[in-house]
Chain A
Amino acid sequence: MLDHILSILIFFPALAAVFGFMIQKESMRAYGVSVAAIEFGLALWLWYVFDGNVSGMQFMENFPLVPSFGINYILGVDGISVFIIILSAFFTLLGIGSLTDTPKVKYMIITLLFLQMTMVGVFAALDAIVFYIFWELSLVPMLYIIGAWGGPLRIYASIKFFLYTFAGSLVMLVGMLFMAYFYYQATGAWSFALLDWYRLILPESFQLWLFAAFFLGFAIKVPMFPFHTWLPYAHGQAPTIGSVILAAILLKMGTYAFVRFSLPLFPDASAFFMIPIAVLAIIMVIYTAMVAYAQKDIKQVVAYSSISHMGIIILGTFALNVEGISGSIFLMLGHGVVAGALFLLVGVIYDRRHTKLMSEFGGLAHVMPRYAAIFGIMMMASVGMPLTINFVGEFLSLLGFYQQSHILTLLAGTGIIVGAIYMLAAYKKAFFGEVTNEKNKDLPDVNKKELFGLIPLVIVAIWLGVYPKPVLEPINNSVKSIVQLMHNKSTTELAKERIPNLIKEKVIVIKKTVIEEEVR
């Protein structure tokens, strides 16, 4: 079973979803929660059996799909993907668990389970085409979640979401076909396997174009400025669960793909584009933070703040060193937990009042103390308070990029300050002061079902903020091997300068000891 644990993780929810059609509406929630719980248990088991000291891929599966064209069903996880898979199982469980009873809850759960298949698939795939299949397939359930359960503009939002990402990824597909073709030219055999591609050293001019093709696909998904325009709509119109999954997991596909594809495949291009991308990322951080400040709708505040934090993730990724990349991956997890929690929290008051305008609220801390406390903690985590999960990631990301450019890092740092400002301002508007609106006088505090979704997130946010080691170390190990690979593959001076050589340090250490010759 261990040999196929990744396939099981991918297809178990899909199979369960198919069976779900046969289940009575009333028992659907119980079914959904149990399936998601089993899936989460499997994911935890994966963590348990995962060897954090190994930097390479584990639990690899390989099955020929279209061998004559080099397409194989290859799966595998390393320290980077394993935690994102756990995160997606975690959020699917929380999401289904805290679903409010809508009339269509049955189809919602089925859709979510299908979505889970695609999410795990994206993070476990090691073949470009298999990756692409899950990547594209994830659009369909999300389209349905936004389009069928969203707000008044839901159809516009869902189509915009679909078409943007669909168009971007088609360009990426052309890039993938080029990669396979270059591999074919170099070796005489077609291959879409990522590990095969890693061995390919491309001239810089090719890298730049291919990087651009992949970049378009990933940047729209992240979404990076200026490709971000679909996201506020998607968040604004999506139901709570849709926003949660979107922010917590789906956006991570883009940043994850940068680490998995762009960096190791095109180290020279990554170094070449480092500064322009960093500038875009900083615009993303500052501009969206400012936009967030101007929002009247609390969900939009969270949505824009979410884009803003994605900017830090991009910045960390393109620091091209171990601190930056590890930090950005840790921040992906942190952002998932925090943004997911914030969207869940917004959902809580939306369920009670059917409005998300901050002007409608005020003094909620008096009426809903527990809610206010949880919101407060998550908000602190969001602005990156030390001892919360986001601090670790943000700190490492900025530390990593500090080694590349002091000024740009400083600029990005201001974005975090603006972040603190708008978050505190929003919190003040909604929670402090007198209860001005009569309708808010006797709002019930968070109930058990909602706590089921929120408490674990609070625990994780603080636990990993205080003690990030069990997660950070496996990530670090895998990132090290990626950075080393990038250094070894890089051909230009610029790249050699920007991407650190990790082995070098080791050689120095060893030099001081006796076994110098052996190493050489």
Chain B
Amino acid sequence: MLSPINVSMESLNLMTLAPMLIPVVGALLILVIDIVKGGLHKSLYVVLSLLFLAMDFAAVADASGIFMQDGTILGVFDVMLVDGLAILAQFIIVGASMLFIPLALTHKRFHEFSYPEFFALFLFMIAGFQFMVATDNLILVFVGLETSSLALYTLIAMHNREKSFEAAVKYFTMGALAAGFFSFGAMVFYALTGSVEINKIALVLAANGYADIGFVLVGVAFFLAAFGFKLSLVPFHTWAPDVYEGSSAAMAGYMSIVPKIAAFVVAMRFFEFLVHSDIVWLDIVLYAFVVITMTASNMWALVQTDVKRMLAYSSISHAGFVMAAILIGTTQANSALFLYWILFSFTNLGSFSMLWMSRQKHLAAHQSSDHSYDKFAGMIKTAPVAALIMGLFMLSLAGVPPFALFWGKLYMISSAVTNGYTILALIMALNSAIAGYYYLKLIVYMFMKEPVIDAKSGQVYVSNATLALKTIIGIAAIGTIFAFIAINPLLEFVTAFVYHSGY
């Protein structure tokens, strides 16, 4: 005879779910509105999404206040886990999404934004990411991962241009494979330890002294492959440039930031105990991943003729750079990861938005692709302010001080130095120098070459511009220039959260 299960509502701690439920409610509301009265203007949906995201942000901020007081909070049968990592990641996820969604208000009409489903899916996706980061239960991670991924595939496909379906299918296939790897890895660990919670897995493995090291390594290998896909680590990166190319520039910028931070947090949770368990093999493999991802994608970026593809490869390189934090695995490195990603999201979203702003409905005759380098030739003459801002983003991505990403690089390399990864630090520095070349190439095109397009069509760079877009780019630009003012509070904030979560 089973005794009835008694669960008090208090022990469930339902407030831990609040941040995720807000976007879900928002998404449902958008769907309902569409059912009741269809054909409304997209601006309504944009603003509704923004509104729910703002509430989401407030909920996360609220949770952060509670975390600072009471420490880590568990909820809903201890499945939800609200710690510093979860909160920081959610801040980035929701914040970047709030910057992204107004980009839908373009001047030109683009297919996807006319569907309310786009915005509903977008909100579902965010909820998925939030679930992913706010748990250490592998099953819930998986659910969050799939929720967000499936929504994202659809969002890409909705772009409905030549290469979008290809991109969506590619992403879907790769994503399905990664999901398979992930579930297989989780299965191995469940078989080994009888648990799907990362902290319990860690405890059990530590208790038996990694007796089944062979199986652990098999599980790790599968996880590495799964995260490799999500984080676009070389050699699992092959989908990334094509998918970025196939999706709209704004979406590509978004994809280079938000899904990755979610994956980074899960990777951080998962690899943290493994890195500290002195498994030599894992150290070597992670080291190789980091170095190869950084270097190889830099090399590929050098030879691109399309700015968007260059930025795609550069995003891969940045992901490799940040992956170093997982390898190093100290509080400083983990804080550096968040600091870097916050700064990166400003700059990268800004630069992709600049591409988005210059997106034409139809290609001019001489243009081989949407954003070929040639298109940007002589931009300083035809659209000086836009050229200056784009140049600023490029300098920041290259890590030229005092612009935003320099500080991220500084702190990240410092965390490598502090932990005796001297060679890695040098490789990171030299990679930044290589990367300098392709960012510089765009600057050279913009500032030093003669315009290819005739002077009056300088409009092409701002053909999509609306007030909303300009505001977003303005925010990104200000964040990039004046980052040095915000570094200290940001660093203290991030470090406190990471430290109090025990990472």
Contact = CB atoms under 8 A, between A and B. Distances in A.
A336 interface: no
Given A129-B410, A163-B437, A173-B410, A144 B401 contact: no
Given A170-B430, A174-B429, A133 B436 contact: no
B492 A65 contact: no
A136 B414 contact: no
A180 B400 contact: no
Given A69-B411, A132-B401, A144 B447 contact: yes
A180 B411 CA distance: 12
B436 A178 contact: no
Contacts of B457: none
B413 A65 contact: no
B487 interface: yes
A143 B395 CA distance: 12
B444 A167 contact: no
Given A173-B413, A177-B414, A163 B436 contact: yes
Contacts of A177: 410, 413-414, 417, 425
A11 to B, nearest CB: 13
A154 B447 CA distance: 12
B432 interface: yes
A133 B399 CA distance: 10
Contacts of A64: 488
B440 interface: yes
Contacts of B495: 68
Contacts of B417: 174, 177-178, 181
B324 to A, nearest CB: 13
Contact of B433 (A67, A68, A170, A181): A170
B143 interface: no
B15 interface: no
Given A148-B448, A173-B413, A159 B440 contact: yes
B176 interface: no
Given A64-B488, A159-B437, A174-B425, A140 B448 contact: no
B418 interface: yes
Contacts of B437: 159, 163
Nearest to A171: B429
B447 A140 contact: no
B285 interface: no
B438 to A, nearest CB: 11
Contact of A163 (B401, B426, B440, B484): B440
A106 B495 CA distance: 45
A67 B447 CA distance: 37
Interface string B392-422: 0001001111100011001101100110001
Interface string B466-503: 00000000000000000010011001100100000000
A261 interface: no
A173 B433 CA distance: 12
A180 B447 CA distance: 37
Contacts of A271: none
B402 A137 contact: yes
Nearest to B401: A133
A116 interface: no
A181 B488 contact: no
Interface in A127-167: 129, 132-133, 136-137, 139-140, 143-144, 147-148, 154-155, 158-159, 162-163, 166-167
Interface in B136-172: none
Contacts of A170: 399, 429-430, 432-433
Interface residues of B, number: 36
Contact of A171 (B399, B430, B484): B430
A66 interface: yes
A167 B433 contact: yes
Interface in A282-337: none
A116 B165 CA distance: 52
Given A171-B429, A173-B413, A158 B448 contact: yes
A428 B67 CA distance: 80
A117 to B, nearest CB: 12
B408 to A, nearest CB: 12
A133 B409 CA distance: 13
Contacts of A167: 430, 433, 436
A64 B487 CA distance: 11
Nearest to A69: B491
A170 B428 CA distance: 9
A357 B418 CA distance: 54
B433 A180 contact: no
Contacts of B429: 170-171, 173-174
A162 B443 CA distance: 12
B414 A68 contact: no
Nearest to A135: B401
A212 to B, nearest CB: 11
Best-surrounded residue of A66, A155, A163, A180 (most CB of chain B within 10 A): A66
Contacts of B436: 162-163, 166-167
Interface in B248-304: none
Contacts of B399: 170
4 smallest A-B Cβ distances: which pairs? Answer: A167-B433, A133-B401, A170-B429, A147-B448
Given A158-B448, A181-B417, 15 more contacts: A66-B487, A68-B491, A137-B400, A159-B437, A163-B433, A166-B400, A167-B430, A170-B399, A171-B430, A174-B425, A174-B426, A174-B429, A177-B414, A178-B417, A181-B414
18 contacts: A65-B484, A65-B487, A66-B407, A66-B491, A67-B488, A68-B491, A129-B410, A136-B400, A143-B443, A154-B448, A159-B437, A166-B398, A170-B433, A171-B430, A177-B425, A178-B422, A180-B414, A184-B418
Interface of B: 395, 398-402, 406-407, 410-411, 413-414, 417-418, 422, 425-426, 429-430, 432-433, 436-437, 440-441, 443-444, 447-449, 484, 487-488, 491-492, 495
